[in-house]
Chain A
């Protein structure tokens, strides 16, 4: 099993450009999450999904959109990138309650917005 994979691993964008980050998991998990990690701030939840076709806002959703059209994939979109979105983005997945605290993380995507 590949676990949780993320594409791309690294990307440089110019302000105003758009991009989509792809997360895929092969563990048949119901729940999926997108986090961003910034120095000195730990991980903050952007959006999450509790099942195919569902999405919900996390702690820092502004400037991002997500879609969960297939159970195994969770896409994070930036419509108009800003320098404040320079960060490392992590995708995670988990089983449903009561096991959702054990989250399985991907290797991350480093995004630099100039």
Chain B
């Protein structure tokens, strides 16, 4: 079965410093991976997705993630944090990865990002 593990439940950074949110996945084949973001009292929004094309994926708001098969990781990064980045971030894997009507998303437990002024 597919699964994801978010290694940090809380991350705090200062505005203007880099952001790193860590995610490891478990899969018996090449997965489809995603990052979703949830701002306070809002629904989730897709940030970026990896579906076996380029291993470095660029998303919205300056975020990007790199798929590393050797490390089974899909970490989310941003060079310079902004106050508006404060939110909860979910690493997600698609199960099964290659379509079908029953394709479902498996969510990690989330990382809460705090940005200090």
Contacts and interface: CB of A to CB of B under 8 A. Distances in A.
Interface of A: 4, 40-45, 48, 50, 56, 58, 90, 92, 96-98, 100-108
A106 B44 CA distance: 8
Contact of A90 (B32, B44, B103, B109): B44
7 contacts: A40-B109, A43-B44, A90-B43, A97-B103, A101-B94, A101-B105, A103-B46
Contacts, number: 57
Give the dominant DSSP class at B's interface: loop
A89 B71 CA distance: 34
B90 A42 contact: yes
A44 B45 CA distance: 16
Given A42-B110, A98-B99, A48 B104 contact: yes
B41 interface: yes
Contacts of A104: 43
> For the side of the interface on B, what is the size category?
20 to 34
A107 B40 CA distance: 10
Contacts of A41: 109
A101 B100 CA distance: 11
Contacts of A92: 43-44
Interface in B68-109: 90, 92, 94, 99-105, 107-109
B14 interface: no
Nearest to A35: B107
Nearest to B91: A42
A44 B49 CA distance: 19
Interface string B47-74: 0010100000000000000000000000
